[in-house]
């Protein structure tokens, strides 16, 4: 434990928050595989508080020391940390559970929050909140998974309890509790009244990102909008630092979730804007993060700009190739039947990623490309006297479009009324410019830009 508090003293002397955060890590390193065991065995429940106080005072004494109030706060934090480590070590040998680990880590979280409220912890220590908040969420997820297995067993084996026992009510209960703890940290940072240069508000975006991850895991993504509105209000008043001043990793995550929220609200233009920012900020070798961003950016660009993903773009991402390349090829060819089959084949993954309904709209782009082929196949009108530049035929019989749609649908006949309805929708959605002359059974297309986004 002496090494732990030497690191604490070093962090406190240099006011280095990330060194401090590592002293609260619940994970052993490759260099120190037995770190947690060593910490746990260095004292006992009877002596832990006195031992930690002694270690901290000894390690920090020659470096300027801590105030009495600050010392008391950190002693409480590391006592809670020691108890949490004990649960983790016991869990590794099957003598504890993730639920006990979560409860112990929640106590550590409370002690740390109390340190800021009652013991004067300074803003440079904010990375400690990052460390504690990050693992609080992970332990909550593990606890819920563990509890879910137990409740499934009880529900299967205890029919007589069915009237009193609702296994559904237990699912994600720890993560919901975790969300409340993270909101406490969010409020702690947001309501700090110190000048910005020494404010806890420098932790606000990291905690906001943890809350986003939690809400998405709980299938309550819409609640994230409250966080965005709060941050927007504080930004408007200049009460929090600008996002551009935060570490790039935090900015990428924040922009990603902001973009996905707009995506889920079907505001694809704003979604694309934020997702592109996240993509451009992301490190080029962060393949998993880029894959997540592209999962939403590709459907966005399909609808906003009618841009299809290329093989070169998807090359490093086999999962994205499997998801999007079949659809992109069908859209490009205007093959409606193959598009429907590809969409159905990937339905489970599309629904899981919340992009199914958006991709379904890609059928309109496939239909536009099919109709464009009919327009091109129609050739040019005969040149009139004095004309030298050929002009494409712009009056096309509905029957020609009907034949193409029937072929694109696998040979199933589509009657003219349904075809006219499809054509009217394409015109309404500005995917085709012109009008339908029903009495003559033709479609009169614009001489310029008949199919927007295709150059024709």
**Section 331-353 average pLDDT:** 93
The answer as to CATH 3.40.140.10 being correct for domain 384-445 is no
Please check the confidence at residue 382 and state whether its pLDDT lies above 90. Answer: no
Distances (CA, A) of 214 to 173, 183, 320: 12, 11, 24
Quote the pLDDT of residue 165. Answer: 37
3-state class (DSSP) for residue 281: helix
**Section 195-213 average pLDDT:** 94
Quote the pLDDT of residue 164. Answer: 41
Confidence grade of residue 96 (pLDDT, cut at 50, 70, 90): confident
| Span of 147-161, 189-203, 261-275, 403-417 with lowest mean pLDDT | 147-161
pTM above 0.85, yes or no: yes
Quote the pLDDT of residue 153. Answer: 56
Confidence grade of residue 421 (pLDDT, cut at 50, 70, 90): very high
Distances (CA, A) of 57 to 9, 52, 54, 75: 9, 8, 5, 10
pLDDT tens column, 75-93? 999 999 999 999 999 988 8
Confidence grade of residue 387 (pLDDT, cut at 50, 70, 90): low
Containing 397, the helix (H) or strand (E) segment is strand 395-397
Containing 152, the helix (H) or strand (E) segment is helix 126-157
Would strands 434-437 and 395-397 be described as parallel, antiparallel, or unpaired? unpaired
Portion of the chain with pLDDT greater than 90, in percent: 74
Quote the pLDDT of residue 170. Answer: 61
Confidence grade of residue 94 (pLDDT, cut at 50, 70, 90): confident
Quote the pLDDT of residue 30. Answer: 84
Between helix 173-190 and helix 98-118 the angle, nearest 10°, is: 10
pLDDT tens column, 278-313? 999 999 999 999 999 999 999 999 999 999 998 899
Q: The tokens of 86 are what?
A: 């004990």
Q: In what order do the strands lie in the sheet with 442-445?
A: 395-397, 442-445, 434-437
Quote the pLDDT of residue 158. Answer: 46
Quote the pLDDT of residue 152. Answer: 60
Quote the pLDDT of residue 162. Answer: 42
Containing 445, the helix (H) or strand (E) segment is strand 442-445
Instruction: Select the more confidently predicted residue: 411 or 416.
Output: 416
**Section 368-391 average pLDDT:** 82
Containing 436, the helix (H) or strand (E) segment is strand 434-437
Quote the pLDDT of residue 161. Answer: 41
CB 371 within 8 A of CB 451: yes
Task: Kindly report the backbone phi and psi dihedral angles of residue 395, in degrees, each rounded to the nearest multiple of 5, phi listed first.
Answer: -105, 105
Please check the confidence at residue 386 and state whether its pLDDT lies above 90. Answer: no
Quote the pLDDT of residue 167. Answer: 45
CB 125 within 8 A of CB 138: no
pLDDT tens column, 27-43? 988 888 889 999 999 99
């Amino acid at each position: 434990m002496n090494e732990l508090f030497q690191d604490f003293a070093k962090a406190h002397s240099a006011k280095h928050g990330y060194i401090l955060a590592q002293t609260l890590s619940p994970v052993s390193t490759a260099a120190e595989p037995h770190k947690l065991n060593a910490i746990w065995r260095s004292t006992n429940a009877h002596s832990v508080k006195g031992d930690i106080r002694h270690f901290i005072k000894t390690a920090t004494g020659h470096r300027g020391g801590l105030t009495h109030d600050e010392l008391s706060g950190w002693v409480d934090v590391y006592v809670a940390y020691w108890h949490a480590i004990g649960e983790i070590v016991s869990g590794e040998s099957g003598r504890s559970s993730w639920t006990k680990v979560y409860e112990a880590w929640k106590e550590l979280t409370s002690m740390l929050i109390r340190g800021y409220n009652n013991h004067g912890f300074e803003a440079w220590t904010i990375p400690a909140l990052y460390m504690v908040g990050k693992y609080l969420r992970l332990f909550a997820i593990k606890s819920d998974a563990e509890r879910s297995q137990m409740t499934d067993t009880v529900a299967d084996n205890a029919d007589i309890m069915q009237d009193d026992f609702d296994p559904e009510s237990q699912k994600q209960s720890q993560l919901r509790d975790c969300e409340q703890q993270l909101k406490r940290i969010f409020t702690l940072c947001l309501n700090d009244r110190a000048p910005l240069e020494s404010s806890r508000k420098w932790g606000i975006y990291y905690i906001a990102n943890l809350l986003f991850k939690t809400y998405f895991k709980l299938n309550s993504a819409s609640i994230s909008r409250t966080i965005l509105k709060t941050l927007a209000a504080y930004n408007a008043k200049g009460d929090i630092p600008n996002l551009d001043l935060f570490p790039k990793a935090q900015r990428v995550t924040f922009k990603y979730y902001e973009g996905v929220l707009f995506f889920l609200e079907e505001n694809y233009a704003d979604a694309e804007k934020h997702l592109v920012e996240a993509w451009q900020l992301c490190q080029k070798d962060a393949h998993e993060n880029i894959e997540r961003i592209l999962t939403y950016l590709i459907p966005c660009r399909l609808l906003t700009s009618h841009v299809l993903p290329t093989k070169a773009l998807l090359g490093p991402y086999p999962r994205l190739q499997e998801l999007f390349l079949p659809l992109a090829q069908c859209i490009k060819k205007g093959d409606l039947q193959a598009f429907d089959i590809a969409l159905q084949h990937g339905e489970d993954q599309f629904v899981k990623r919340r992009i199914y309904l958006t991709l379904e709209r890609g059928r309109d782009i496939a239909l536009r490309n099919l109709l464009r082929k009919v327009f091109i196949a129609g050739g040019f009108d005969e040149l009139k006297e004095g004309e030298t530049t050929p002009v494409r035929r712009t009056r096309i019989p509905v029957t020609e479009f009907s034949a193409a749609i029937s072929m694109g649908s696998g040979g199933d006949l589509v009657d003219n009324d349904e075809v006219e309805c499809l054509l009217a929708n394409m015109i309404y959605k500005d995917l085709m410019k012109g009008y339908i002359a029903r009495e003559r059974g033709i479609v009169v297309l614009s001489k310029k830009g008949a199919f927007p986004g295709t150059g024709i």
